[in-house]
Amino acid sequence: MYITKCVSWIVISCIVGAKLAIAASAPTSVSAPKIELGRYLFNDVRLSKFGNRSCALCHSPFHGWSNTFSKTPDIHGNISALNTPSLLNAVDFTTYMQGSRDLTDLAETIKRPLLSTSPEEMGMKEQLLVSRLQRESLLYAPLFMSAFGSTQITLEKVLQALAEYVKTIRSTDTSYHRYLEQADINQLTPAQQKGLVLFKSERLNCTACHSGVLLNRRTDARETDFANTGLYGIESEGGYIYPPAASGLQSTSGRIEDNGKFRIPSLINVTATGPWGHDGSFSTLGAVIDSYARGGRLTVSGANQGDGKKHLQKDPLITGFNLTPLERSQLLRFLEALAIPVPPQLTQHASPFCALVQLPGRVDVANCILPFIYRGNENTH
């Protein structure tokens, strides 16, 4: 079950924060200034070429640190092949990309969408980024001085501050984890308790791929934490493949054995991050369960029609199972026990910037900073 989403992509940059209870200890005074700088940068549309998005647009605390897109558009409005994974607990991941093992450093991973050219997710250039932040010296000079002991602005400092902030997006404050920590089954409703039994049962065997604190690890440590779950089975030269634009690990390894293999996602807060699937092709969690129950998804129309159950690289654990309607409902209720509560009050994740467009139910922080407006008079090339 993967993740992706948002509201209006064109101009929304201000994501007024909502607290996700941080499981780790509070930031130390040494790193706190870098975290604060990172919070400003994370919510600032200056970090995108045309000033039409911030990091918080695609990674919103209101949508489980993901967004509501099935496939995220770039700064030109062109639709990408994949949806956006959640940043929740990203600091605890061993690799940061859905379809690649290459990036294991958080700052380097943040650099990818910031400077990417195909697609242009943020479309930023290093020189443009530095000059924009330098021009806003009244705002950023004190923040860089506090964080790094110097007002000098560099790409490396920006990436480091963003990485320190992303590390604070961390929580396991769920009913399920409280049940584990307190050994109190009453933390779960009766339906959730029955759903947990199903989740752990030999018949469904969900824990084979969704175990550990974040429910994103295999129980068999010898196996990789990437899997082909049979979402596609497009016939091709006598075999079956995923859509070429989203081929998973094969895109970096070049091995047909890796076709359709994507990183196993964490299930924490999964109910808040729809639509689901590495490409956002599931509109409900019930549909995700149905695909696993079938042993692979059948796509009967469109360019990607085919039977994922027949894919030769499908994980051998995806064999299918039977569920009654009541059991299906109980399993869905258990997934609700993995939700992170989002209190309405403003917290450490509040955007310091005023919203370009005021959304219903969203309120700017007091004395919010007017957002950057792209005027088209910069050299963005």
Q: Where residue 181 falls among pLDDT bands split at 50, 70, 90? A: very high
In the chain the first and final C-alpha atoms are separated, in Å, by 38
Cβ density class 257-285: b for 16+ within 10 Å, e for less: ebbbbbbbbbbbbbbbbbbbbbbbbbeeb
pLDDT, one tens digit per residue, over 103-150 is: 999 999 999 999 998 889 999 999 999 999 999 999 999 999 999 999
What's the rounded mean pLDDT across residues 313-328? 97
DSSP H helices, 93-174, are 106-115, 126-135, 137-148, 155-166
pLDDT, one tens digit per residue, over 244-264 is: 999 999 999 999 999 999 999
Q: Give the Cβ contact number of residue 67 at 10 Å.
A: 27
Residue 268 domain-assigned (yes or no) = yes
Q: Comparing C-alpha atoms, which of 120, 114, 210 is closest to residue 160?
A: 114
Checking if the pLDDT of 310 tops 90, the result is: yes
What is the C-alpha separation between 169 and 92, in angstroms, rounded?
10
What is the C-alpha separation between 168 and 153, in angstroms, rounded?
23
Q: Comparing C-alpha atoms, which of 369, 98, 35, 60 is closest to residue 231?
A: 98
**pLDDT score for 363:** 84
Residue 307 domain-assigned (yes or no) = yes
Number of domains in the chain: 1
What is the C-alpha separation between 58 and 283, in angstroms, rounded?
18
Residue 169 domain-assigned (yes or no) = no
The SS3 call for residue 127 is helix
Residue 10 domain-assigned (yes or no) = no
What is the C-alpha separation between 371 and 43, in angstroms, rounded?
10
Measure the CA angle with vertex 133, ends 132 and 136; round to 5°.
Answer: 95
What is the C-alpha separation between 142 and 31, in angstroms, rounded?
15
Q: Where residue 11 falls among pLDDT bands split at 50, 70, 90? A: very low
Residue 230 domain-assigned (yes or no) = yes
Residue 231 belongs to what domain range? Answer: 175-336
Whose tokens are 């996700």? That residue is 20
Question: In the numeric block, which tokens belong to residue 309?
Answer: 């159950």
**pLDDT score for 3:** 33
CATH code of the domain in which 217 resides: 1.10.760.10
Residue 204 domain-assigned (yes or no) = yes
Where is 135: in which H helix or E strand? helix 126-135
Residue 146 domain-assigned (yes or no) = no
What is the C-alpha separation between 206 and 238, in angstroms, rounded?
31
Residue 167 domain-assigned (yes or no) = no
pLDDT, one tens digit per residue, over 34-77 is: 999 999 999 999 999 999 999 999 999 888 999 988 888 889 98
What's the rounded mean pLDDT across residues 349-363? 84
